[in-house]
A and B are shown apart, each in its own frame.
Chain A
Amino acid sequence: MRKNLIIIGSIAILMLLLTTTVCGFFGAWVEEAIEATRRYVIAKNYENLIKERIDIFKNIKEIILKNPPLHISEIRGVMNLFIEILQPLCVTGIIITGIYLIFLSGSPTGRAKAKNAFMMMIFAMALISVSPYILMLFFSFSHSITQNILTHAPENSEKYFTRTSEYLLNMAKDIIGSDSNPMETPMGVERPAMPFLLLSYLLLEVTILILKLRYFIVMVLASIFPLSILLYSFLSSRGIGRLLLEQTILWTLAQVAMALVFITVAIGISITDVIRTMDISDTIILAMEIAGIIILMFTPFVVARSFRGFLP
């Protein structure tokens, strides 16, 4: 049995070797067939990748809605750590200021500043102790607004975002000659098709990445929340504290902005069949969908950059 296999295998290898070198056409055809298979495999791999991303996109509403869970998790642990470190500090500060006020009588300005700092520290300590609950309240507030906004979206509105990737993928598959149409399989060229495949993959992947980036940044900022409250309450470090607090609020509210953009794009594209002044062809719908994805990608950064400076 093994001997037969060896004989057959060696004959097959010999035939391949001979055909590629001796008999011109047949060898070229075999090479072309191998390359066609290779192209088909490339197209198939990319197609699987892109279809995975499109599946992720079907759950985009949950991804937009997702906020880090604060009641039980490691984030709460980090916050508790900060609270445990900062509370004794605040208590020490209060005691020192109290001693200064009662026993050491300095200049009037010094006493006024000490009184101010005293009030500030008591206030800050109260806030820091309840900071996880403040943050949970804020997250649920933003979550409910977003959910409310998202209920206005028309049915199946993810398809407006994934249709361009599918279009580019089909175009690339036509160029690369994949197996969808067996007559076209060997007639593809793979190198010019690469930009289309790359573009269709990147469009989806970057959007999903930015959504996850928002979640990650909210997570990081939430764990630093007690620290930013402390920094904000002291006058010297107010700048940094303000920056951190504003960024926390803005990145959480970016949810709302993204939901708004989501339904605007969905509604905007779905009402194009009402337009009478021009004939909306497929290319223009494609341009609108590309525009929709680009706006969705840039929304968190626009929100975080241009809405700054609202805290006193």
Chain B
Amino acid sequence: MEKKKMRKKLTMALISILALNLFLFLVSAHEPEGWDIPDEYLQEIKEITEQMKNEHPKMWMELSRRVYFCHQISTKIDIIMEDFCNNLIAFILLDPPLQNATVIGLLNYFILLLQPLYGIAILLTGMYMLFVVGSPRGRARAKSTLIKLIIGIGLITLTLPIIQAILQIIHSISSLLFSFVPDLDTNIFRIGITFFTNYFLTITFFEPMVGVPFLFISIMLPIAVLVVLAVRYLMIILFTVFFPFTVLLYSFYPTKKIGGVIIKQTFLWALVPIVESLVLISTWITYSTISISPVPEMGAFIIVVSLLLLIFAPLVTIALMNWIGPGIATLLFIQPVRRVITYFGRTGVKGTNREEGYVELKSEVEK
């Protein structure tokens, strides 16, 4: 059965090869596309392909197959680059549609899940404060936990407006940045990638394996930029849905660090559009000043470098900017709240109160 199948495939292949004679004329009339190679080389190529047709037909057929592959791949790369160039700015500025019924339903489900938890937590903390005689530090912590829990309930019901507000602020900052360069043209990416695609096409004409790194650069870099932006889109939805838990985690002392980590991650992923718009603007400026630069042919390399930066700058920002979580949180939400907490949390025993706000106030004085 297997042998019959193989034989059938063989005959079908044979027939289709015979039927595809007309493609073979491509090679003898075709030159490696992409570059304008000087004429003497073209002449040599034509001579050799003529000889190939007569004496080494297998290689000639391989050449025709490679030419066909080059046509296919350049069509695909053109489609990818077209989508990339048309949609890049809109995708950077895209906010996930958080008003959607499904997302709101999911969020409500999580809030519903957390309500009994909050009730139990407030009850337990209250009981601990009233009945159990612990250390002053424990009592202070319990007081601050209670206050944070009550504030947390209010924050949770305001999840969507808060996150929408943050996204709106960042959207307007990025639009403002983009309005500084009204003539930003994303077609420069197409020109840059064409450089590498030309290398790829010409080299694949001679040997496919040598050209694969260039293909990799041409396809992978734009798609990786789109993937980073897509990760930001998905991360924002994830953190929105997870926000109630984050507030709960931030309220308890042992899990405070985890809550802080998650809050920081939320802000950093939300800040990605600003970083990307900055990189895009500087790419545009660089590209426009390149005509007065010493090396005008470097346009393609500026594009490749800018694509690499578009991929890695958000990730580097998230790794380096450790200040931004406590900074923004302190500034926007928790600064006045913290003063309230420390006011209520002072037990009159100086030195043993290791409440964080007290320590931070002390260090502020020292600065």
Contact = CB atoms under 8 A, between A and B. Distances in A.
**When A and B assemble into the complex, do they touch directly, with CB atoms less than 8 Å apart?**
yes
Interface of A: 24-25, 27-34, 36-37, 40, 152, 154, 171, 174-175, 177, 179, 182-183, 185-189, 191-192, 195, 260-261, 263-265, 267-268, 270-271, 274-275, 277-279, 281-284, 286-288, 290-292, 294-295, 306-307, 309-312
Chain B contact residues: over half helix, strand or loop, or mixed?
helix
Given A33-B10, A281-B83, A309 B57 contact: no
A112 to B, nearest CB: 17
Contact of B16 (A183, A191, A195): A183
Given A186-B13, A187-B23, A278-B87, A312 B254 contact: yes
Q: Name the prevailing secondary structure of the A interface residues.
A: helix
Given A36-B17, A192-B215, A271-B102, A186 B65 contact: yes
Interface string B14-58: 101111100100000000000000000000000000000011011
A310 B16 contact: no
Contact of B208 (A31, A152, A174, A192): A192
Contact of B17 (A33, A191, A311): A33
A264 B12 CA distance: 47
Interface string B190-226: 0000000000000010001101100110000001001
Given A186-B17, A188-B65, A267-B106, A174 B72 contact: yes
B70 to A, nearest CB: 9
A309 B257 contact: yes
B171 to A, nearest CB: 10
A37 B208 contact: no
A287 B10 contact: no
Instruction: Categorize the interface residue count of chain B.
Output: 35 or more
Interface of B: 6, 9-10, 12-14, 16-20, 23, 54-55, 57-58, 60-62, 64-66, 68-69, 72-73, 76, 79-80, 83-84, 86-87, 90-91, 93-94, 96-97, 100, 102-103, 105-106, 109, 204, 208-209, 211-212, 215-216, 223, 226-231, 233-235, 237-238, 241-242, 254-255, 257-258, 261
Nearest to A309: B257
A93 to B, nearest CB: 28
Contacts, number: 175
B90 A25 contact: no
Nearest to A275: B97
A264 B257 contact: no
B208 A189 contact: yes
A260 B103 CA distance: 12
A281 B65 contact: no
B67 to A, nearest CB: 9
Contacts of A268: 96, 233-234, 237
B90 A29 contact: no
Given A175-B69, A186-B13, A288-B233, A192 B204 contact: yes
Contacts of B234: 264-265, 268, 288, 291-292, 295
Interface centre among B62, B72, B235, B242 (most CB of A within 10 A): B72
6 tightest Cβ-Cβ pairs between the two chains A and B: A287-B226, A278-B90, A28-B57, A291-B230, A283-B83, A28-B58
Contacts of B100: 271, 274
